[in-house]
Every structure is written in structure tokens, then in C-alpha cells.
């Protein structure tokens, strides 16, 4: 029915010029009719009753035409105004619907009244699921209990808006999303009818800011590491020289072997210091074909001198005749030592066990290091490879071990992943492509 009337209106618009010409002609006729009546009644006084009736009918018809023209003009401008309002509404609705940010409106009863596509993408609820629901469905329980809704209501009462308020919201799956929220009161005739919210996901922004802060910290660490490397280098050189001198004078093979191990560890300390420098200033690595089983056995042999190894059992399940991988043997050794040290730190009970398994995949060689320690919570696992993140007590860890290890494995085109559950230990999996 509505389309039918629209067709009629569009047709009438087509004949608008005809209406204008007809109305103009009617006005002329009306003026001429008035003049004729005046001429006959006032000036000549010769008009009969039939003439007067004819003039009156003609005047009435002209009046009807003129009134119809006037009504049409008023109706025409009304239709134009409606069309302009519809176009404006469509334009702004389009802007709101296609906004990358979530835009919603909330009534005085704290129930959602509108829900754009940005809100659907961000929070995963469809408009049908969200509209009519209380706004509390998307607010974490801890924020509801702390009175966030009351704080926002107070801000709206005082200033009619709350700008750039950083908080958290829940999506349909229950995941917390950090957001920036701007809330504005919807006012009509001085009365607050509700409020609108523009909600922007700032997860990516926070990640970038975190990376920038980390870059600043790493730059500082790089400067400190360069100084440390210089200060430690000379004493280590002196110690290494004395060890070599003792090696030449010793006759007991067992003592010579132990001195050789000391010298090897001194060299490793030197390389670790340089590795700290390389963490912020990557350098070329000495890549060669490596038998990963040899690296594992070397790292386990080194850790056997740790006092904690007396109460922690290390089970090796090494697949024989593994293909070689293209890697830096020293850096791969460093990664294995880091993983073993972390496993030692995670286990404190007598009889705890570390299990190391090597295996071959279609395109890579894998090393799995498992422990039966206390395990990790999901929030810890999300940050485990971040620089300077550590769960150890102050002074017992720098938070660089796993971060450096992750970077080393990535530089070999490999991957280092972790899986863990609280109370069920942790498992680190290294995968390195086979040598071509």
C-alpha cells in the first residue's frame, strides 16, 4: 500500500509544472472575475441575477483550483522534508552500522536498545541476542561489584558524558577485552532518555605500547650488557689462562678432565654474556649440521654437576640415528641448559623427574623436555617467553632465559612451544627443520 501511494506522489511530482501553470492561470481568472463583478455591480450596474450566479460559480471554481494548488505546494514541501530526513537518517545509520567501533545505546533501565555491526564483531552477540538484555552481560563481575555502572552514571549526571574511559568488557565466549569507552547522554527536551556508548578494542594498541616499552628496556639492557661483557671479559681470560696452565702441569687424567670442563664452562660464560648483547643486537650465527642427540647429552652432562641433580632424575629417551639439523651447536646447547635449569627450579621434591625425548617428524627433528613440577596457570603461559618476565623470587632470575631461547630457536627457523596445567608439570617442545 505504501508503495502504491509513493507511485502516486512521484507521478504528481512529474506534473508539478502543470499544476503551477494551472494555478497561475487560475489566479489570473480569479482577478479578472473580481474585476468583472466590480465592473458590472459597481460601475455599470447592469448585471442580471444569472450573470451574478455565473460569475460566482466561476469564482468558486477558481478558488477551488487555487486552494488545491496551495495544498499541493504545502504537501510537496512536506514530502521534500521527509525525504531529506530519510536521507539524513540513512546516511547516519550507515555511518553507525559500518563503524569499526562498537556503538550501542542503552535505555534508562540499563537495557541495550541498539547494537551495530562493530559491536557484533567485537562482542560476538548478534543484535537479536543483545537488544533487550541488561548491559551487565558484557561487564566483568569484578567491575560490577566495584560499582562501575554507578561511577559511569555519576559521570553522565555531572557532565552528560564520560570520555576515553579505559576498562574491560566481556564477549560472548567470556573473554575479557580491554576497551576504551566514551559514553554520552541522550537528551530530548531537557530529559535524559538513555545514553550511547562508543567502545573501541585497544588490545592491539596495548600490545604495541608493550612492545615499545620492551624495546626501550632492551636497548638499556644492550648498553649494560656491552659494559658487562667488557668488564667480565678480562677476568674470564685470566681464569681461562690459569686453568690452561694447570692443565699442562697436571698429570692425573681425572683432574685434567675436570679442568677441561672448567675451561669449557668459562668459554660458555663468555658466550652467554655475548648472547645477552646479541639479544638486542643480533649477529651472524655459526650454523652447521648438528646431531641433536649429542647436544642433549652434553647439556645433561653439564647439569649433572648441579647439586639439585642429585635428587632429580633425568630420563633420556633418545631416538637413535636422527637426521642432522642446521643449527648453531653452542646456542642449541644454551637452549637445552636453560630448559633444564627451569625444570630444576620448578621441582623441589625428592624423586622428581625430568624426561627428555627426541624424535623425528616428516620435516623436522623434535626435542621434548617434560617435568612433573608445579605446572603453570594460563596467564603465566601467555607471558612465559616475554623478556624479563619471571615467576622466580627477586634475585633468582632475570626473565631472559626463555626469551633468549625462544629467539634462538626462531633464528633457526624452528619453534619452541610450551604446554602445562597447574599441578601437572610443564612440557617444552623444540622443533627444528631437518638439514636439506
**pLDDT tens digits, 46-101:** 545 565 566 566 667 666 766 776 777 777 777 778 878 888 778 877 888 888 88
Measure the N-to-C terminal CA separation of the chain; round to a whole number of Å: 75
Q: Which CATH superfamily is domain 102-201 in?
A: PAS domain (3.30.450.20)
pLDDT of residue 357: 92
**In the chain, what are the domain boundaries?**
2-97, 102-201, 204-283, 286-436
Mean pLDDT of 366-376: 87
- What is the C-alpha to C-alpha distance for residues 196 and 113, in angstroms, rounded to an integer? 10
Beta bridge partners of 191: 188
**CATH for the stretch 286-436:** 3.30.565.10
Pick the more confident residue, 392 or 305: 305
Q: Are 319 and 360 in contact (CB under 8 A)?
A: yes
Long-range contacts of 259-265 (CB under 8 A, 24+ apart): 261/305, 265/302
On the question of pLDDT at 252 being above 50, the answer is yes
- Integer Cα distance of 391 and 382 in angstroms: 13
Mean pLDDT of 310-315: 80
Is the pLDDT at 137 greater than 80? The verdict is yes
Pick the more confident residue, 159 or 316.
316
What is the spatial distance between Cα 283 and Cα 336, in angstroms, rounded to a whole number? 21
Identify the band that residue 407 occupies on the pLDDT scale cut at 50, 70 and 90. Answer: confident
Strands 426-433 vs 415-420: parallel, antiparallel or unpaired: antiparallel
Q: Which residue has the higher pLDDT, 387 or 194?
A: 194
Lowest mean pLDDT, pick from 54-58, 89-93, 216-220, 393-397: 393-397
Residues in the chain: 436
pTM for the predicted model, two decimal places: 0.47
Which pLDDT does position 429 carry in this prediction?
92
Instruction: Name residues whose C-beta falls within 8 Å of residue 84's C-beta, 6 or more positions apart in sequence.
Output: none
Least confident of 23-32, 101-110, 200-209: 23-32
Of residues 305 and 402, the one with the higher pLDDT is 402
Please answer whether residues 354 and 343 qualify as being in contact, where contact means their C-beta atoms are separated by less than 8 angstroms.
Answer: yes
**pLDDT number for residue 280:** 53
Q: What angle do CA 434, 435, 436 make, to 5 degrees?
A: 110
Within 166-286, where are the H helices?
A: 203-249, 253-280
Q: Which residues contact 233 (CB under 8 A, 6 or more apart)?
A: 270, 273
What stretches of 101-202 show up as alpha helix (H) in DSSP?
117-123, 127-130, 141-145, 148-159
Residue 173 or 283, more confident: 173
Q: In the CATH scheme, what architecture does the domain 204-283 have?
A: Orthogonal Bundle (1.10)
Inter-residue contact 65 to 22 (CB < 8 Å): yes
Amino acid at each position: 500500500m505504501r508503495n502504491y501511494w509513493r507511485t502516486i506522489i512521484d507521478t504528481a511530482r512529474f506534473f508539478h509544472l502543470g499544476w503551477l501553470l494551472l494555478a497561475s492561470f487560475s489566479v489570473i481568472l480569479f482577478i479578472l472575475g473580481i474585476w468583472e463583478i466590480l465592473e458590472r455591480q459597481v460601475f455599470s450596474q447592469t448585471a442580471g441575477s444569472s450573470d451574478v450566479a455565473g460569475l460566482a460559480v466561476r469564482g468558486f471554481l477558481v478558488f477551488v483550483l487555487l486552494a488545491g494548488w496551495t495544498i499541493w505546494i504545502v504537501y510537496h514541501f512536506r514530502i521534500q522534508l521527509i525525504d531529506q530526513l530519510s536521507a539524513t537518517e540513512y546516511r547516519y545509520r550507515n555511518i553507525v552500522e559500518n563503524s569499526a567501533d562498537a556503538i550501542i545505546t542503552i535505555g534508562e533501565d540499563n537495557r541495550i536498545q541498539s547494537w551495530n555491526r562493530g559491536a557484533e564483531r567485537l562482542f560476538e552477540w548478534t543484535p537479536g541476542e543483545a537488544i533487550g538484555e541488561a548491559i551487565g552481560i558484557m561487564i566483568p563481575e569484578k567491575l560490577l561489584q566495584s560499582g562501575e555502572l554507578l561511577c559511569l552514571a555519576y559521570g553522565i549526571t555531572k557532565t552528560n558524558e564520560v570520555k576515553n574511559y579505559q576498562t574491560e568488557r566481556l564477549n560472548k565466549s567470556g573473554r575479557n577485552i580491554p576497551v576504551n569507552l566514551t559514553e554520552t547522554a541522550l537528551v530530548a527536551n531537557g530529559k535524559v532518555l538513555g545514553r550511547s556508548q562508543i567502545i573501541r578494542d585497544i588490545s592491539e594498541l596495548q600490545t604495541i605500547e608493550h612492545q615499545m616499552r620492551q624495546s626501550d628496556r632492551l636497548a638499556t639492557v644492550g648498553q649494560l650488557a656491552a659494559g658487562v661483557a667488557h668488564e667480565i671479559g678480562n677476568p674470564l681470560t685470566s681464569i681461562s689462562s690459569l686453568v690452561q696452565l694447570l692443565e699442562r702441569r697436571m698429570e692425573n687424567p681425572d683432574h685434567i678432565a675436570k679442568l677441561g670442563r672448567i675451561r669449557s664452562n668459562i668459554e660458555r660464560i663468555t658466550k652467554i654474556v655475548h648472547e645477552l648483547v646479541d639479544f638486542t643486537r643480533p649477529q651472524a650465527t655459526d650454523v652447521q649440521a648438528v646431531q641433536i642427540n649429542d647436544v642433549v647429552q652434553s647439556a645433561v652432562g653439564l647439569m649433572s654437576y648441579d647439586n639439585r641433580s642429585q635428587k632429580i632424575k633425568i630420563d633420556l629417551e633418545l631416538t637413535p640415528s636422527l637426521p642432522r639439523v642446521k643449527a648453531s651447536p653452542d646456542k642449541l646447547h644454551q637452549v637445552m641448559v636453560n630448559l633444564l635449569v627451569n625444570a630444576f627450579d620448578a621441582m623441589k621434591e625428592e624423586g622428581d623427574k625430568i624426561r627428555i625425548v627426541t624424535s623425528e617428524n616428516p620435516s623436522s627433528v623434535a626435542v621434548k623436555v617434560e617435568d612433573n613440577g608445579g605446572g603453570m596457570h594460563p596467564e603465566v603461559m601467555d607471558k612465559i617467553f616475554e623478556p624479563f618476565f619471571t615467576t622466580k623470587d627477586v634475585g633468582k632470575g632475570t626473565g631472559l632465559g626463555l626469551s633468549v631461547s625462544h629467539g634462538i630457536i626462531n633464528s633457526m627457523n624452528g619453534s619452541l612451544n610450551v604446554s602445562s596445567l597447574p599441578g601437572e608439570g610443564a612440557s617444552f617442545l623444540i622443533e627444528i627443520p631437518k638439514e636439506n
